[in-house]
């Protein structure tokens, strides 16, 4: 049985967890087994019903009032109790910030190997193998597992979300006992930058700026474009971040985040090897740069040699036309 | 405060990665190795905490003797002591193996730690596993991907980066913290620091010293294959008046890529 951890943030089921569930379901079909989901927290039963249409046979809800705030120690303890009880063969997480924090803690508790941030899963000889990028995507390794249960985190925005179907499965509620001193390092509150609702790792479209943006105020041009494009976020190259034009949360590349959106638009980004490593797995890449020799054009599906400050106003007009159609 | 910083040697980020397909490993020849950039933030934070509240900063690495160079750098930045746990095993991509070695070293040799600082991940392996695993093995609180850290006595609060926001987390010492870019601006080594570091000896610990047997740290993952990413074909590049260029770009996005 494949067990998929479903993350709830601020009362909502995270889309990247449903992507992981969809992928888990596909591999479960290959391996002739079932895909089950688990939610951890407090008062989550109604959310559990939102997960059922993604073909989970069972949705476990592991509850305790001490789990109303996230902590890796508390959540891993809760998952550990469930794993001891239902004995899954595979446990999958989204490689979201919570998944990356929680999965290794659970793997250490179970004493098993973990593959991080995988971009492919393969059913081979009745077992699961995974493919994951190393060096921010400059190379890929295929890993097999020598311990059980198999554990992996899956990169957001890579695995197709399944079509929700009928609710065939069941929701099973489990109370866990967690000693209060097991809740180490609880999250007290979430502090949010204004307007930054979608992270670059989760966005379907990333509009990115580099040295060619020339200053922090000019990033407003990119914010304008983002406001015209659905599920989009502003990204940046390292030089723009190091110049303090924009917060490092937006940085794409080997010292920032690795992204795989449907569309990556690079404005004034030359395309240093570290930056290319972080965005080359985007489905489509479009670049605007004054320098026709810029490395970014070697990976771009569509490139415009020109001044971004002249192109962007026309681009806004054209986008408005399309979106109003 | 008795602070330990765990550091790793990695190929610098400018490196082109070549693969030896026979061994399924990367070709190390010709690569320039440096201190993992995220670990630099961890070292810097340790030095600042010591400067503000006193104590000692010890740096620890696990790897071949070639890792002595990055430990020297940490000493030159201002760390008080450095130790190497000698491990000649090539990269296994198994974070738990590394975490077991580190946890054992801390328990056996340095059990009076009050804070363990790591980089949020080593660039290259890109696992981001070891800090959380060490925290679990030692029964400590963990806060990963930290951009702000405050410690008062035995209590601390940290800001940890999550999707599009920050999470404010409280914890008690001893604890595991992993550093993200933005936590601080790492200092450069001074000439005086480099001279001082030259005089310091870096003790090397073996697995026997830690009472660690090979069978305790057998890798739980196996590399079946290593490949380069599929090359991207360069697409259409145009050089036209801005209005025409913008129109063609949107046409491409709408009609060919179908992303808008």
Are B83 and B6 within 8 A, CB to CB? no
With CB atoms and an 8 Å threshold, state whether B172 touches A184. yes
| B247-251, Cβ contacts within 8 angstroms, sequence gap of 24 or more | B247/A314, B247/A318, B248/A304, B249/A286, B249/A288, B249/A302, B249/A304, B249/A311, B249/A315, B249/A318, B250/A315, B250/A318, B250/A319, B250/A321, B250/A322
Q: What sections of chain B are H helices per DSSP?
A: 37-53, 68-77, 95-109, 130-138, 191-199, 242-251
Nearest CA in chain A to B225: A142
Q: Do residue A173 and residue A265 come from a single domain? A: no
**Contacts A198 to B, Cβ<8 Å:** 163-164
Q: What is the CATH number of the domain that holds A175?
A: 3.40.50.620
Range of the domain at A286: 205-324
A193, part of any domain: no
Q: Which residue has the tokens 């924090």?
A: A101
Q: Which of A125, A149, A182 is the last residue of a domain?
A: A182
| pLDDT value at residue A67 | 94
User: Angle at Cα B15 formed by Cα B10 and Cα B18, nearest 5°?
Assistant: 95
Disruptive mutation site among A15, A79, A104, A280 for chain B (greatest number of B CBs within 10 Å)? A104
Q: Do residue A27 and residue A150 come from a single domain? A: yes
A195, part of any domain: no
- 3-state SS assignment for residue A94: strand
A196, part of any domain: no
| pLDDT value at residue A196 | 61
**Contacts B171 to A, Cβ<8 Å:** 184-185
Angstrom CA distances, A291 to A267, A297, A304, A305, B14, stand at: 11, 9, 10, 7, 21
With CB atoms and an 8 Å threshold, state whether B219 touches A113. yes
A265, part of any domain: yes
Q: What are phi and psi of B142, to 5 degrees?
A: -130, 140
A67, part of any domain: yes
Q: Nearest-CA distance from A165 to chain B in Å?
A: 25
With CB atoms and an 8 Å threshold, state whether A113 touches B234. no
Q: Where are the beta strands (DSSP E) in chain A?
A: 2-6, 8-9, 12-13, 35-41, 58-63, 90-94, 114-118, 120-124, 127-134, 139-145, 150-154, 170-175, 187-192, 205-209, 232-236, 263-267, 284-289, 302-305
**Contacts B225 to A, Cβ<8 Å:** 141-142
Disruptive mutation site among A302, A305, A322 for chain B (greatest number of B CBs within 10 Å)? A302
User: Angle at Cα B245 formed by Cα B243 and Cα B246, nearest 5°?
Assistant: 65
Q: What is the CATH number of the domain that holds A227?
A: 3.40.50.1220
Q: Do residue A166 and residue A29 come from a single domain? A: yes
Q: Do residue A97 and residue A232 come from a single domain? A: no
A40, part of any domain: yes
Cβ partners under 8 Å of residue B125, min gap 6: A134, B91, B93, B95
How far is it, in rounded angstroms, from Cα B61 to Cα A238?
28
Tokens of B237: 């590049």
A190, part of any domain: no
**Contacts B235 to A, Cβ<8 Å:** 285, 300-303
| pLDDT value at residue A324 | 81
| pLDDT value at residue B195 | 96
Q: Do residue A91 and residue A220 come from a single domain? A: no
Give the H or E element holding residue B221: strand B221-227
Q: Do residue A224 and residue A140 come from a single domain? A: no
Q: Do residue A178 and residue A288 come from a single domain? A: no
Q: Which residue ranges of chain A lie beneath pLDDT 70?
A: 193-196
CA B72 to chain centre: 17
Q: Give me the number of domains chain A comprises.
A: 2
Q: Do residue A219 and residue A161 come from a single domain? A: no
Determine how β-strand A170-175 pairs with β-strand A187-192: unpaired
Q: Nearest-CA distance from B159 to chain A in Å?
A: 9
With CB atoms and an 8 Å threshold, state whether A134 touches B222. no
| Alpha-carbon dihedral A273, A275, A281, A286, rounded to 10 degrees | -110
A81, part of any domain: yes
Q: Which residue ranges of chain B lie beneath pLDDT 50?
A: none
Q: Nearest-CA distance from B186 to chain A in Å?
A: 13
Are A241 and A247 within 8 A, CB to CB? yes
On average, the pLDDT of chain A sits at 95
């Amino acid at each position: 049985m494949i067990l998929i951890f479903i993350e709830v943030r601020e009362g909502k089921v995270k889309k990247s967890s449903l992507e992981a569930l969809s992928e888990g379901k596909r591999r479960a079909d290959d391996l002739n087994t079932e895909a089950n989901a688990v939610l951890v927290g407090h008062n989550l039963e109604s959310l559990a019903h939102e997960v059922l249409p993604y073909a989970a046979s069972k949705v476990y809800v592991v509850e305790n009032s001490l789990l109303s705030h996230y902590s890796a120690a508390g959540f891993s303890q809760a998952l550990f109790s469930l794993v001891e009880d239902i004995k899954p063969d595979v446990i999958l997480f989204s490689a979201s910030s919570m998944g990356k924090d929680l999965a290794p803690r659970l793997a250490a508790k179970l004493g098993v190997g973990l593959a991080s941030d995988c971009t492919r899963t393969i059913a081979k000889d009745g077992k699961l193998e995974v493919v994951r990028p190393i060096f921010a995507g400059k190379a890929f390794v295929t890993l097999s597992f020598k311990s059980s249960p198999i554990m992996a985190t899956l990169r957001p925005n890579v695995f197709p979300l399944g079509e929700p179907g009928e609710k065939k499965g069941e929701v099973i509620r489990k109370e866990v006992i967690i000693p209060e001193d097991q809740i180490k390092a609880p999250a007290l509150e979430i502090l949010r930058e204004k307007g930054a609702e979608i992270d670059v790792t989760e966005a379907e479209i990333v509009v990115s700026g580099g040295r060619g943006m020339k200053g922090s105020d000019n990033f407003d041009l990119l914010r304008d474009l983002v406001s015209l494009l659905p599920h989009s976020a502003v990204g940046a190259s390292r030089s723009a971040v190091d110049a303090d034009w924009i917060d490092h949360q937006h940085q794409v590349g080997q010292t920032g985040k690795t992204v795989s959106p449907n569309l990556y638009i690079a404005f004034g980004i030359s395309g240093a090897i570290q930056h290319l490593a972080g965005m080359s797995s985007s489905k489509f890449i479009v670049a605007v740069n004054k320098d026709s020799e810029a490395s970014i054009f070697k990976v771009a599906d569509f490139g415009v040699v020109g001044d971004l400050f002249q192109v962007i106003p026309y681009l806004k007009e054209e986008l408005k036309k399309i979106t109003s159609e | 405060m008795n602070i330990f910083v765990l550091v790793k040697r990695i190929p610098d980020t400018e490196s082109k990665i070549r693969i030896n397909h026979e061994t399924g490993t990367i070709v190390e020849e010709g690569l320039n190795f440096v201190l993992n950039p995220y670990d630099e933030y961890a070292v810097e934070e340790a030095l600042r905490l010591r400067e503000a509240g006193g104590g000692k900063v010890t740096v620890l690495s696990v790897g071949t003797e070639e890792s002595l160079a990055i430990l020297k750098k940490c000493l030159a930045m201002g760390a008080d002591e450095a130790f190497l746990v000698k491990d000649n095993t090539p990269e296994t991509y198994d974070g738990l193996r590394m975490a077991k070695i580190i946890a054992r070293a801390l328990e056996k040799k340095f059990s009076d730690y009050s804070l363990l600082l790591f980089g949020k991940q080593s660039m290259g392996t890109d696992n981001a596993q070891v800090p959380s695993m060490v925290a679990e093995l030692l029964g400590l609180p963990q806060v990963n991907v930290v951009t702000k850290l405050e410690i008062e006595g035995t209590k601390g609060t940290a800001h940890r980066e999550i999707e599009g926001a920050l999470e404010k987390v409280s914890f008690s010492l001893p604890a595991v913290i992993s550093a993200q870019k933005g936590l601080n601006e790492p200092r450069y080594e001074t000439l005086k620091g480099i001279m001082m570091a030259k005089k310091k000896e870096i003790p090397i610990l073996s697995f026997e010293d830690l009472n660690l047997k090979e069978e305790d740290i057998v890798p739980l993952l196996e590399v079946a294959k290593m490949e380069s990413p599929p090359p991207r074909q360069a697409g259409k590049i145009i050089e036209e008046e801005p209005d025409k260029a913008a129109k063609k770009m949107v046409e491409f996005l709408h009609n060919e890529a179908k992303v808008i």
